[in-house]
Amino acid sequence: MRTVLFLSAVLATLLLSGCASTAEEKTTTVKAETARPQSVFLARLQQRAAAQTVELADGSIKVAFPGITAFSHDGARISDEQQSVLSSVVESLEHIEYQKLTVVGHTDSSGKLAYNNTLSQQRAEQVKAFLLQQGLTAERVTAEGRGPAEPVADNKTAQGRAANRRVELVLAF
């Protein structure tokens, strides 16, 4: 009986002093160490920003920003609201290994196709420059314009056109 009491007291002391841990703690540690970078990024981003994410078939993550007016009509200057959300993306990527981040620029369908293609590239380049200013490395960030080819809303309404003037990010891990 004394031995059981003695062992219980020793075990309690070890647990309280941090010299021993439970099996549950070890399991949690292993899970955190083996988490996929995509999962860690998504969890962080969900806490920081109003972004919509989709995991693509190849394991990359597409990040969109619905409800945010990213650009004015016929403009490539990033709105303050978009800058704030992009800063959250950069913070969410801190200490996470990724292969490449592609900034994809879009326009509405107003105007000539050639002009919209150029404008979408300018928008993507502006966002890329902003991300680089925030600390991402140039070797891993690319910019691509797609013009009005991939609308997310009806271009017949002012609200739809505003939604189509956007950027999306695609992260390859």
Between 173 and 12, name the one with better pLDDT.
173
pTM flag (> 0.85) = no
Q: Distance between CA 4 and CA 131 in Å, rounded?
A: 61
In this structure, are 29 and 106 located in the same domain?
no
Domains in the chain: how many in total? Answer: 2
Q: Kindly indicate the confidence band of residue 172, based on its pLDDT and cuts at 50, 70 and 90.
A: very high
Q: Which has the minimum average pLDDT: 61-65, 66-70, 90-94, 116-120?
A: 66-70
In a shared domain, residues 52 and 117: yes
Mean predicted lDDT score pLDDT of the chain: 85
Structural domain including 3 reads 1-34
Asked whether residue 5 falls in the same domain as residue 79, the answer is no
Instruction: Identify whether residues 147 and 128 lie together within a single domain.
Output: yes
Q: Are residues 142 and 93 part of one domain?
A: yes
How many CA atoms lie less than 13 Å away from 114 in the CB half-sphere? 0
Same domain, 27 and 89: no
Do residues 96 and 165 both lie within one domain?
yes
Looking at the fold, whether 147 and 164 belong to one and the same domain comes out as: yes
DSSP state of 88: H
Task: Say what percent of the chain tops pLDDT 70.
Answer: 80
Do residues 49 and 19 share a domain?
Answer: no
The structure tokens listed for 139 are 């070797």
The residue type found at 107 is T
Angle of helix 37-48 versus helix 80-92 axis, rounded to 10:
140
Same domain, 27 and 91: no
Same domain, 28 and 48: no
Question: Which residues does 107 contact at the CB level (< 8 Å), separation at least 6?
Answer: 116, 119, 120, 123, 147, 148, 164, 165
**For 133-159, what is the mean pLDDT?**
97
pLDDT of residue 50: 83
pLDDT digits (tens, 9 = 90+) for 14-54: 444 444 444 443 333 335 456 899 999 999 999 988 899 99
CATH label of the domain that carries residue 51: 3.30.1330.60
Question: Greatest CA span in the chain, whole angstroms?
Answer: 89
